[in-house]
Amino acid sequence: MSDFIVRLKGQQEQIVSSLIEQGVFSNKTEVVRAGILELYNKYQNLISRENEIMYQVAKSIAEDGTESVSEEDFLNKFPHLKKVKK
């Protein structure tokens, strides 16, 4: 378990205070924990997809015996990733 400090101001502070005042949560810690869980639920498919991509890459490298691959070759092998290229 780790400890950290969250500094809130403005609208974020008002939202947290309102949730506590309305009895939705009993303290700020509960609000932060619920927020983290909600973010996980929102982005878990993205996280799972990222892990699947890494698995595919590792499997491909192992099968091909390739130690490195160019970006072009990589995108040719995984064309569905072209749209997420930055």
Locate all alpha helices (DSSP H) within the chain, ordered by sequence. 11-21, 28-64, 71-77
Q: What is the pTM of this model?
A: 0.53
Instruction: Check residues 40 and 35 and name the one with the higher pLDDT.
Output: 35
Q: Would you state the pLDDT for residue 84?
A: 57
- Considering the domain boundaries, does residue 4 fall inside one? no
In Å, what is the CA distance from 53 to each residue of 63, 68, 71?
A: 15, 16, 14
Q: Which of 36, 38, 32 is nearest to 6 (CA)?
A: 32
Residue 15 has pLDDT above 90, yes or no: yes
Give CB contacts under 8 A, 24+ apart, made by 22-26. none
Q: Which domain holds residue 71?
A: 11-84
- Considering the domain boundaries, does residue 33 fall inside one? yes
pLDDT in tens, 37-86: 898 888 777 777 777 777 777 777 667 766 666 777 777 777 776 665 44
- Considering the domain boundaries, does residue 50 fall inside one? yes
Other CB atoms within a 10 A radius of the CB of residue 6 amount to 11
Q: Tally the domains of the chain.
A: 1
Which residue shows structure tokens 């991509």? 53
- Considering the domain boundaries, does residue 6 fall inside one? no
- Considering the domain boundaries, does residue 1 fall inside one? no
